[in-house]
Chains A and B, each alone.
Chain A
Amino acid sequence: MTTVALKPATMAQALTRALRDAMAADPTVHVMGEDVGTLGGVFRVTDGLAKEFGEDRCTDTPLAEAGILGTAVGMAMYGLRPVVEMQFDAFAYPAFEQLISHVARMRNRTRGAMPLPITIRVPYGGGIGGVEHHSDSSEAYYMATPGLHVVTPATVADAYGLLRAAIASDDPVVFLEPKRLYWSKDSWNPDEPTAVDPIGRAVVRRPGRSATLITYGPSVPVCLEAAEAARAEGWDLEVVDLRSLVPFDDETVAASVRRTGRAVVVHEAGGYGGPGGEIAARVTERCFHHLEAPVLRVAGFDIPYPPPMLERHHLPGVDRILDAVGRLQWEADS
């Protein structure tokens, strides 16, 4: 067995590596979007791809999201595997009609004759001081659309593994990239990337016995931090990273909550009509008799994403998570 030298790498680097490896492995993989070519993307995730694979395979498109996704549909119809970049969460909205009316349902409406293997990369979420329209958490819209897979990595290794899986998938995948984690570093071996992760499996990031924090994407590091801080209160928190919002890993989540008996769902998106409501309902349906307390949610406020100087008040932080954990009817238990 050879020892692998682990080096620090950023999530952005892992994503670039995933795109490069996918393009090298499969000539039908095409990267397209605004600024993805010469510039390498505004987050540099597509850096070097145009140079290495040519502008036909890493294409700067006109600035038009519906056009980017709409032409990707036609390309996929002809046997290509487009990977489109939407640059920022809120910039993807013009493409919603293509996404919902065509991308998500082409397989279904053609009885399987015309699957669309399109990966839609959407940098999402806040915490980077972006101005309006640069920080939305739009995952609930995607989750509500049958036919789409929705995944979001929280670690460098997952960024690589899940993006490879998304590109390899014969179905459309909305790949949500937590942009505030782009520069987060992790020990990773960029020379021998980890295996491709199957879409649809949650993972226990930190085992614990007192309560489960169910979270994903940008809130995963926040929950891990909260779990560390909770030790001072005597709570041993388990953190489940969903990784995939569609399909949803009921098994891993329910198993964790049955072990701990308490759960808090944490995400940046607004709570009302947000992913947390669905997750809390699923947990309640499966674990009711194991629950010591209602499933609580710690979410962003139900407001349009705030201006950058106020976003710290909106984003779920360690204190708000610990407050929620504190409300999990500990007295009744003792």
Chain B
Amino acid sequence: MTVMEQRGAYRPTPPPAWQPRTDPAPLLPDALPHRVLGTEAAAQVDPGLLRRLYAELVRGRRYNAQATALTKQGRLAVYPSSTGQEACEVAAALVLEERDWLFPSYRDTLAAVARGLDPVQALTLLRGDWHTGYDPHEHRIAPLCTPLATQLPHAVGLAHAARLKGDDVVALALVGDGGTSEGDFHEALNFAAVWQAPVVFLVQNNGFAISVPLAKQTAAPSLAHKAVGYGMPGRLVDGNDAAAVHEVLSDAVRHARAGGGPTLVEAVTYRMEAHTNADDATRYRGDSEVETWRAHDPIALLEHELTERGLLDDDGIREAREAAEIMAADLRARMNQDPVLDPMDLFAHVYAEPTPQLREQEALLRAELAAEAESEGTAR
């Protein structure tokens, strides 16, 4: 009988040094997404936190609407809206301490704003005046990342470096459901688990990678299940339940800070708008699906909880909306001013010291600009 024929009966004896992990059960996510709002657990949440989450959600929704409008006016080249996903964005920003780092993807402008970044600076990339409109060190927000999942290993490296230096810093990295198919997702999770780096991965599963639905993206029972293979806990959470996302991320951040290593959190949510203004979502999803999710709106869920418990009244709601309007008006006014650009910036930050070749090109552009200015002067 060959080895192939005795399959089933054949059990290789592992060499003594190799011991399989026997504790996969604690790593497995729950079968259903964790929820807080509308359950008894909601009563345990600090009312102050719920009110803060609410104010940020309302502001975030308004921010998404304003940025989308700016796109239609041609003020932004593109805007990937996070409408419907605000609970994830806001919770991601609020669970972090000042010393922690956030690693956003291109759709996570709102998380950066909720963390304190100037709304105009957050839109620089999308307006097109520079790639990153802020100093990442100021609020500890890495540049908005356009290639998928490539920011995840950065988060791991930063968290690892911080721990090597003895700093009590956690990195939180955001990625979409499509990004989990990328090789960098795998490598980042593997490095994080092997190094036990203090990093939290938040997958915002919004149902589609542009047009490709989750079922065509993965055969895993859930994206949170992917954690098990790396040896880290996976958590599944209702991504429209701001209190639940905040709780699960807080747990994960606490776990990481205490030296427990990384966690993979999958937030199940939905992108209410198209991928960007360049996308036609009607080609790949029906209105009824969108309406089902509209009934599960993150702001409505939280508003219902707060009003039911007498923690929010009409005045409170109006207050939140007014604050959001003030932010939107300010954003609109400042975005309607043309940015002042210096073409010589093209050469300023390629290297610490420009190469001789770049100096030659710099001189060429300077001469072109001078000639341009002169001919404009003559024309006048």
A interface with B by C-beta (< 8 Å)? 30, 56, 61-62, 64, 66-67, 69-80, 82, 94, 97-98, 101-102, 105-115, 146-147, 149, 169-171, 200, 246-251
Known: A56-B164, A80-B161, A250-B356. 16 other contacts (CB 8 A): A61-B191, A67-B184, A67-B187, A73-B153, A74-B161, A75-B160, A77-B136, A77-B154, A101-B150, A102-B150, A108-B349, A109-B131, A110-B349, A147-B351, A171-B352, A249-B356
Determine which of B142, B147, B158, B345 lies in contact with A75 in the assembled complex, contact meaning CB atoms within 8 Å: B158
> B residues 166-186 with Cβ under 8 Å of A?
171, 183-184
Determine which of B130, B153, B158, B191 lies in contact with A111 in the assembled complex, contact meaning CB atoms within 8 Å: B130
- Is B250 positioned at the interface, with any CB of A under 8 Å from its CB? no
Q: Smallest CB-CB separation from B103: which chain A residue?
A: A74
With A107-B350, A110-B143, A146-B350 as known contacts, state yes or no: A74 contacts B153, CB within 8 Å.
yes
Q: Is the CB of A71 within 8 A of B184?
A: no
In the complex the two chains form, what is the Cα distance from A101 to B150 in whole Å? Answer: 9
In the complex the two chains form, what is the Cα distance from A112 to B137 in whole Å? Answer: 12
In the complex the two chains form, what is the Cα distance from A146 to B143 in whole Å? Answer: 19
Complex contacts, A64 vs chain B, CB 8 Å: 187, 190-191
- Is B200 positioned at the interface, with any CB of A under 8 Å from its CB? no
In the complex the two chains form, what is the Cα distance from A127 to B194 in whole Å? Answer: 36
26 pairs of residues in contact across A and B, judged by CB atoms under 8 Å = A62-B190, A67-B153, A70-B152, A70-B153, A71-B160, A74-B156, A75-B157, A75-B158, A78-B157, A78-B158, A78-B161, A79-B161, A80-B164, A98-B150, A98-B184, A107-B350, A108-B350, A110-B143, A111-B345, A113-B135, A169-B352, A246-B355, A248-B356, A248-B357, A250-B356, A251-B356
Q: Is the CB of B154 within 8 A of A111?
A: no
In the complex the two chains form, what is the Cα distance from A74 to B130 in whole Å? Answer: 22
Q: Is the CB of A113 within 8 A of B137?
A: yes
Complex contacts, B155 vs chain A, CB 8 Å: 74
Complex contacts, B161 vs chain A, CB 8 Å: 74-75, 77-80
Inter-chain contact total with CB atoms closer than 8 Å: 140
Q: Is the CB of B187 within 8 A of A66?
A: yes
Interface flags, B125-156, vs A, CB<8A=1, else 0? 00000111001110000110001001011111
Complex contacts, A111 vs chain B, CB 8 Å: 130, 132, 345, 348-349
- Is B58 positioned at the interface, with any CB of A under 8 Å from its CB? no
B interface, by DSSP: helix, strand, loop or mixed? helix
- Is B165 positioned at the interface, with any CB of A under 8 Å from its CB? yes
- Is B159 positioned at the interface, with any CB of A under 8 Å from its CB? yes
B176 CB to nearest A CB, Å: 17
Q: Is the CB of A106 within 8 A of B143?
A: yes
- Is B188 positioned at the interface, with any CB of A under 8 Å from its CB? yes
Q: Is the CB of A74 within 8 A of B147?
A: no
Q: Is the CB of B355 within 8 A of A247?
A: yes
Q: Is the CB of A112 within 8 A of B187?
A: no
Q: Smallest CB-CB separation from A94: which chain B residue?
A: B183
With A109-B132, A111-B130 as known contacts, state yes or no: A74 contacts B157, CB within 8 Å.
yes
Q: Smallest CB-CB separation from A109: which chain B residue?
A: B131
In the complex the two chains form, what is the Cα distance from A76 to B150 in whole Å? Answer: 15
A116 CB to nearest B CB, Å: 10
In the complex the two chains form, what is the Cα distance from A105 to B184 in whole Å? Answer: 18
Among B161, B165, B188, the most chain A Cβ lie within 10 Å of the Cβ of: B161
